[in-house]
Copies of this chain bind each other. A is one copy, B any other.
Amino acid sequence: MPRTRDLPLLKPEGDWCCPPLTERPLTAEEAERTAVMFKALGDPVRLRLFSAVASHQGGEACVCDISDVGVSQPTVSHHLKKLREAGLLSSERRGTWVYYRVEPAALAAMGALLTQAAAT
């Protein structure tokens, strides 16, 4: 069975974590869980790699597909691992390459948190 995620900090479906930001202040525990995702996208190289995976044909990409961000391939792999650990990408090895795919539910949870907050 492929090892798709190192830290299952986020549940892949159901109630993810937290109410919309406008509803009530997050608890310390909720903030710890949610900040991990924001932090993962808080680096320009990681954000570029994330968008490269998200926009790649078929919704998945391997390191070989997205190495044009001006950093070395080991650095790309390091950042992809960080995104996976934060629950934003899943990964699967096929032959030589590891393929990465966006976790839609993680993005939806972040988006809902922010969009609902902005709507008030």
A interface residue count range (under 10 / 10 to 19 / 20 to 34 / 35 or more):
35 or more
Known A-B contacts A102-B117, A108-B115; the reply to A34 vs B47 at CB < 8 A is yes
Asked if A97 is at the interface of the complex by the 8 Å CB criterion, the answer is no
> Of B26, B42, B44, B119, which is within 8 A of A51 by CB?
B26
Report how many copies the assembly holds: 2
Over the window 59-88 of chain A, the binary record of Cβ atoms lying under 8 Å from chain B Cβ atoms (1 yes, 0 no) is: 100000010011000000000000000000
A18 to B49, CA, bound (A): 15
Asked if A50 is at the interface of the complex by the 8 Å CB criterion, the answer is yes
Q: Is the CB of A42 within 8 A of B40?
A: yes
Known A-B contacts A108-B118, A115-B112, A118-B111; the reply to A35 vs B25 at CB < 8 A is no
